[in-house]
Amino acid sequence: MSRLLLCTDLDRTLLPNGVAPESPRARPLFARLAADADVTLVYVTGRDAGLGAEARATWKVPVPHVLIGDVGTTIAELRSRAWGRWPARDEAIARDWRGRGGDAIRDLLQGIVGLEPQDDSRQGPWK
């Protein structure tokens, strides 16, 4: 069998979050699929690694191989029980942003009606 890349969001996709009820068999079936040795599990989420860990503990879902978090601004993988960011992702963003950081981008976006930054605690170098 060839390897299978399984990517999913967390909130309102894998995890119930809101008024829609959860299917009672969804998480057990998902866990069984994710446990297959041929599956590489990736969570793609707006959450950071800490909030992702909190969701996994609360909802008892499998630990992924890779976490694409912070609305796509970080990619991390589990290394010796700790999440390590992919330096190549940071380097690519830094190159594309031509030395600008999050503050410079926020300044460029300031004044757009309806666009609000998240709390400072949720900001990172590229968000």
Structure pTM? 0.82
pLDDT of the residue at 14 = 86
Distance between CA 126 and CA 53 in Å, rounded?
21
- Going through the chain in order, the beta strands assigned E by DSSP cover 4-8, 39-44, 66-69, 74-79, 82-85
* CB-based contact 69:56 (threshold 8 Å): no
Helix H or strand E encompassing 84: strand 82-85
Do residues 38 and 1 make contact, with C-beta atoms less than 8 angstroms apart? yes
Of the candidates 18, 66, 28, 61, the residue with the CA atom closest to the CA atom of residue 44: 66
Residue 45 confidence (pLDDT) above 60: yes
Q: Residue 1 above 60 pLDDT? A: no
- Residue 122 has a pLDDT of 79
pLDDT for residue 123: 80
The percentage of the chain sitting over the pLDDT mark of 90, rounded to a whole number, equals: 34
